[in-house]
Structure 1
Amino acid sequence: MQNKKITILAVAGSLRPTSTNIRLVKDIQRWAPADIEFIVYEDLATLPAFDDSAVEGEPVAKWRRQLAEADGIFLCSPEYAFGIPGALKNAIDWTVRSGELVNKPLALVTAASNGEKAHAAWLQIFSALSANIPEGGALLIPFIKTKLNERGEIADAATKTAVEAVLQALINAIKQMAAGT
């Protein structure tokens, strides 16, 4: 890992290109540390409905490959009707049998109007999938729209500091895993 950039796959849970979650991960991509390759996954809408069959198709194979190749996952989720977004849950369901998230360092940011229910649901789901959410690697950002400027950048200093801390917790977990500690 010393000579190789750390690769983080960022996944936003909304399909709308101008959503606050997509804007948030793209803002993080702009200011992520130089030794981090922060890749934003943009194919969520291409994944077929999960059906647990042996036939997965190229979009699912590509999704699983990107998850497997990433050193860590940065997931940013909205909350829809007090729950998690269906498209993102569908994507995560495609990993249940294949196990790409088992022990994978994962950071969770739930950025919504409220977000408490979705955040709690995601924490349960990732616990069931044995993802490695490090200490300080989960953050709930309520009222997210009030914390971004018109360009989609984090304008609230406390929020930016909190997101930076989550990203750093993820990076630290990746480095610890690579070092075998």
Structure 2
Amino acid sequence: MDQLSSPLRLLAFCGSLRKQSFNRMALEALQLRANTLFQNELEIYIFDELGNLPFFNPDLELAFEAGDLSSLQTEEKSLAALSHLMHAMAQADGLIIASPEYAHGVTGLIKNTLDWLVSGESFVDMPLMLINTSTRAHHAQDALTEIVTTMSGRVIQEASLCLPLLGSQIRSTTDLITSDLVGQLDNKLGLYIKALNQSA
């Protein structure tokens, strides 16, 4: 496994709100493997507030950037989640997205999150690792690649991961990291870190 040039902070988005989401399991497994392989040199932070973000609204975006929200009625929790998202993105060295496929497309949760980030400088040239937990869900993966590339993100194709979890016997994060699939997690994480080091 490659040595890190400096401590790295990776941000992760899960496109599902289900408690037993395969995509959440994949991110948690990757988080655990990162701790094992890189210890204190790599942190994967799973952002848990995507469901609290307000629906994207250009008027709210402008008011948020100007720091004047008095004219718009938005819940405090939504504004806090939005502020947290922007701060987390600004601190991130890379972004990992794991999302299911809904009707041959990305989930509304992920699309809304990306809409909030589309005009931000922090997304430009952001290295991305994309995770898919179903071999049948290539439409969403293709759509997600198109979206983030249009946003000037940089998908690390060799680090993209397709885990055949749908229809498997895996029911928990522990099941995943103790399965034969853990080698794929380690390999793709290593390729992602190598790409990050090369672009540093």
Cα distance, 1:148–1:129 mapped onto 2, change above 3 Å: farther
Q: 1:58 aligns with which of 61, 80, 92?
A: 80
CA distance in 2, matches of 1:75, 1:98: 17
Q: 1:120 aligns with which of 142, 150, 154?
A: 142
Asked if 1:46 is matched to 2:52, the reply is yes
Given that 1:78 and 1:118 are in contact with CA atoms closer than 8 Å, whether structure 2 keeps it comes out as: yes
Give 3-state SS (helix, strand or coil) of 1:130's partner. coil
Cα deviation code 1:90-123 (max 9, x no counterpart): 0011111113221111100122362110011011
Given that 1:99 and 1:129 are in contact with CA atoms closer than 8 Å, whether structure 2 keeps it comes out as: no
What are the ranges of 5 or more consecutive residues in structure 2 without an aligned counterpart? 65-78
Shift of 1:147: 4.4
Given that 1:73 and 1:107 are in contact with CA atoms closer than 8 Å, whether structure 2 keeps it comes out as: yes
CA distance in 2, matches of 1:135, 1:151: 27
What are the ranges of 5 or more consecutive residues in structure 1 without an aligned counterpart? none
Identity of aligned residues (%): 26
AA paired with 2:63? V
Give 3-state SS (helix, strand or coil) of 2:96's partner. strand
AA paired with 1:48? P
CA distance in 2, matches of 1:168, 1:147: 25
Extract structure 1 runs of 4+ deviating beyond 4 A: none
Indicate the residue corresponding to 1:144 in structure 2: 165
Asked if 1:102 is matched to 2:124, the reply is yes
More helix by share: 2
Shift of 1:165: 2.5
Shift of 1:163: 2.8
CA distance in 2, matches of 1:133, 1:67: 16
Shift of 1:148: 5.7
Q: How many residues align?
A: 175
CA distance in 2, matches of 1:31, 1:63: 24
Q: TM-score, normalised by structure 2?
A: 0.79
Write the mapping of 1:18-57 to structure 2, written as runs, cut at 5 A: 18-32=20-34, 33=37, 34=39, 35-53=41-59, 54-56=62-64, 57=79
Q: TM-score, normalised by structure 1?
A: 0.86
Specify which structure has the bigger relative contact order, considering alpha-carbon pairs within 8 angstroms and separated by 6 or more residues: 2
Q: Compare 143-152 and 13-22 and name the one that shifted more.
A: 143-152
